[in-house]
Amino acid sequence: MPTDLAAGDLAPAVIFINSWALNEYEYLQQAGELAEKGYVVLSYSTRGYGTSTGQINTGGPKDMDDFSRVVDYLIANYPVDPQAIGAAGISYGAGISLLGAAHDSRIKAVSAMSGWGSLVDALYGDSTPRLVWGEILTLTGDLIGDLDPIVNQHWSDLKNQNLEALPAIIEWGNERSPLHKVDQLNANGTAVYLGKAYGDVLFRPNSILELFSALEGPKFVDLEPGTHATADLLPPLLGLPENTQWDHTYEWFDYHLKGENNAIATAKPVNMKVKFSDNWEQFDSFPIAEATTETFYLHPRSLIDDGDLKDYGYSGWATDDAYNTLLGSIYETGFPLVSEMLQQIVDLPVLTDISAANDNHSIYYKSNLLTQPMAIRGNPSVHVTLQPHAEVAQIYAYLYDMDLTGTGTLITHGAYTLPQVTYKDKVAVDIELVTTAYDLPAGHRLVIAFDSKDIEYQSVTSSGYRLDIEFDRDQQNILSVPTL
C-alpha cells in the first residue's frame, strides 16, 4: 500500500501473478517500488502453487475464474480506482496476465515478460517437442506444485508423437493461448507491454510477435538477448545496470494507469537490441517495414565446392545432397539455458568451426564474402525440399556468421519435424527461424547448416536414416533473410 494515500483517495493498482514453480513472494522488490510510486499492489499464487489449493490449471478456465475473484477482492477491500488496474508477471504470470486481461475487461494495462503467444507453438512448434523445457516444466510442476495429471499426459503424447491425441492437445493449448484471445484483448482496449529474449527456446519470440502484430490497442515490445525469463529475472537479482523490461513496465503503468507522460508514451513500439552490441533500435511495426527480404538460393555440392548460397536460382538437372541422421554434428544451439544466458550477460556467442563439420552427418551452404555489412532484423526462413529414407524425418537449420578462419557465430536457428511421412516421398517444408537482430561484418560469409540432432529438442527416432536435400530447377531451395 502507498504510505501517503489520503483518506478518500483512490489509487491505481497492479496485480502480480507468479511464475511457474514460484509463489506470491516473487515480486516483493517490485511491489515495494510500485507502492512507493503510489500503487496498491496485490500478489497472489495461482492454484496449485504456494499455499493456494487446487491443481495447476495452466491458464485454463479455473485460473480465469480465480483471476476475476482476485480483482473483485482488490476492489472490495482496498481504495483502488476500478478504472486503473493492471496485471503483470513473468513467464507463467505473463501468460495468465494476458489471458486474464482478455477474460476480464477491468484490466486496463498488462506487462507480460517472457510469456507465450501460442502454448501449442511453445511446446510443439513445427511438430518438434521442446525436450529440455518440457521436462523442466513437468518436473518442477510435480515437485513444487500440484500439477493436473493432464499436463503430464499431454506432454508425454507430444514427446512420443502420439498423433491421435494431437487434436485434443491443440484444443487444450489454444484455450490457454493469448494469441487465440486477441479479439477479446482488442475489444477490451487493453494496453499491452511485452518483454522477450531472442534465445527463449521455450516461448519463442515468434509467436509473441505474431500476437503483437494482431493487437490493435496500445502496445510495446522489447526484444533483447537472453533465454527464458533471464532478461527480466536476472537484472534485479544480480543488480545489473540495464533493467530494460522492468523500467519499461513501470513507465507503461505510469502512462496507462496514472496518465503520466513519459518516454514510452511517444516511443516507437518495437524496441530491438542488436545481439553482441550496445545498440537498441526502434521501429513502428513488426515485421519491420524498413526491412527488405534478401533471397539466397541453395546450390548443391560438387567435387570442388561445399555448397553455395547464390543470388540466382539453381538451373541444373535434378540432384540431391544427403547426410545420415544417426549422429549429430558440431552444429548446435549450445548448452541449454547457459549459452543464451551468457550471451545476455557477457556477450559470449555460440561458436562452431564450420570447416570441421562431419559431412556424413550434416550439410552447410555458404555465401560469397559480403562486400558490405548485413543487418538482419526479424525472422529468417528457409524453404527446402526433403526426401527422407524413412517414415519420419527431422531437420534443424542453423544460420551462422562465418569469419575468414571458418569460425561460425550462431545467429539463429529453427527446427522442423515430419512425424509421419511416406518413405522416399519428396516433401517441401518451410522452417521459420527464431527472431533475431544481428549485424554481419563485411568480409564474412552467411552460412545455413543442417543436421538432425539437437539437445534442446526431442528426436523423432533413435534410428539413423538417410535424409536428402533435393535440387531441381523447378523447385528451388531458398533462404530468406530480412535485412535493413
- pLDDT one-digit tens code per residue, 291-322: 999 999 999 998 777 789 999 999 998 999 99
Percent of the chain clearing pLDDT 70 (strictly above): 100
Average pLDDT, the chain: 95
pLDDT at 350: 94
Cell numbers standing for residue 290: 524498413
Fold of the 11-267 domain: Rossmann fold (3.40.50)
Domain boundaries, the chain: 11-267, 292-483
316-326 burial code (b ≥16 CB/10 A, e <16): eeeebbebebe
Look at residues 398, 397, 322 and name the one whose alpha carbon lies nearest to residue 361: 322
How distant, in Å, are the alpha carbons of 48, 418, 419, 422 from that of 390? 43, 10, 10, 7
How distant, in Å, are the alpha carbons of 172, 191, 192, 247 from that of 218? 29, 5, 6, 17
Residue 170 has pLDDT above 80, yes or no: yes
Contact 14, 3 (CB under 8 A): no
Q: pLDDT (tens digit, 9 = 90+) per residue, 356-375?
A: 888 899 999 999 999 999 99
Contact 446, 367 (CB under 8 A): yes
Does the N-terminal peptide bond of residue 241 adopt cis geometry, omega within 30 degrees of 0? no
The DSSP code sequence of 369-419 is PPSS-EEEEE--EEEEEEEESSS-EEEEEEEEEE-TTSEEEEEEEEEEEES
Q: Helix axis angle, 244-258 relative to 28-36, nearest 10°?
A: 40
Q: Is the pTM of this model over 0.85?
A: yes
Sign of CA dihedral 162, 165, 167, 171: negative
| Band of pLDDT at residue 218, cut at 50, 70 and 90 | very high
Q: Quick one: average pLDDT of 147-152?
A: 98
Look at residues 25, 15, 74, 73 and name the one whose alpha carbon lies nearest to residue 49: 25
| Band of pLDDT at residue 337, cut at 50, 70 and 90 | confident
Q: Identify any residues that bridge with 233 across adjacent strands, giving them in sequence order.
A: none
Cell numbers standing for residue 202: 521455450
Sign of CA dihedral 200, 206, 208, 178: negative
Q: pLDDT (tens digit, 9 = 90+) per residue, 27-36?
A: 999 999 999 9
Residue 425 has pLDDT above 80, yes or no: yes
Q: What CATH number is given for 292-483 in this structure?
A: 2.60.120.260
Q: 361 Cβ partners below 8 Å, 6+ apart?
A: 323, 324, 325, 326, 327, 328, 329, 451, 453
Residue 238 has pLDDT above 80, yes or no: no
C-alpha to C-alpha distance for 16 and 12, rounded to whole angstroms: 14
